[in-house]
Amino acid sequence: MIKVHHLNESRSQRILWLLEELGAEYEIQHWTRDAETRFAPAGLKAIHPLGKSPVIEDGDLVIAESAAIVDYLAQLYGQGALIPKTDHPDHWAHQQWLHFAEGSAILPFLLGLYVGKLGEAGAPLGPRINSEINNVLDYLEAALEGRDFIMGDDLSAADFMLIFIAEIAQSSGRLKERPNLSGYVARIQKRPAYIRALKAGGPYSFAATPSN
């Protein structure tokens, strides 16, 4: 059975949602952030040297990195239904979106988080960081025009990656004038599998959907 090493208030929530959508059997090893530092507990390094979450164990296999986990689960347990086949014209567009979330998209949000802790010392970087965040969100907003999900009418593996970007943007009030992204978040957060994943994972402040 798949074991998910799940850290509260983290991107590992996307893995629980994917497993619920797939109907795969799994168990959760819950890990809790340090209340002061917000870092993951040191014990996670016994599972993977980076000490990060998400990490999954599937038999003797240990996989870290969200995109790698999503790709693995979608291909093995989803029989490829969530990923366009290599000879499909949408395959490489999908692969771009799959890796965009943890590549280009997340960086300005993380910079904003850490630079914000510097107070006035970090203020000169604020405009550039905001510009990059807006660039990411405008790109997504345009890509979702006329679409329910990033590849069209149906979920794909990339949506499990992109939802975290959209949720953190919504939590900071950045989707008020981006209706395509707002609708995207609302559609996903209403899905039964998403709600089940919230109940399984515990507190997750980026979700507006009640967990009961």
Query: pLDDT (tens digit, 9 = 90+) per residue, 38-67?
Result: 778 888 999 999 998 999 999 999 999 999
Residue 93 CB partners (closer than 8 Å, separation 6+): 151
Question: Same structural domain for residues 18 and 69?
Answer: yes
Question: Same structural domain for residues 53 and 100?
Answer: no
In tens, the pLDDT along 172-194 reads: 999 999 999 999 999 999 999 99
Q: Is the peptide bond before 54 cis (omega within 30 degrees of 0)?
A: yes
**Total domain count, the chain:** 2
Range of the domain at 57: 2-82+193-201
* Domain containing residue 121: CATH number: 1.20.1050.10
Q: How would you classify residue 142: left for phi > 0, otherwise alpha for psi between -120 and 50, otherwise beta? A: alpha
pLDDT of the residue at 208:
60
Its pTM stands at: 0.93
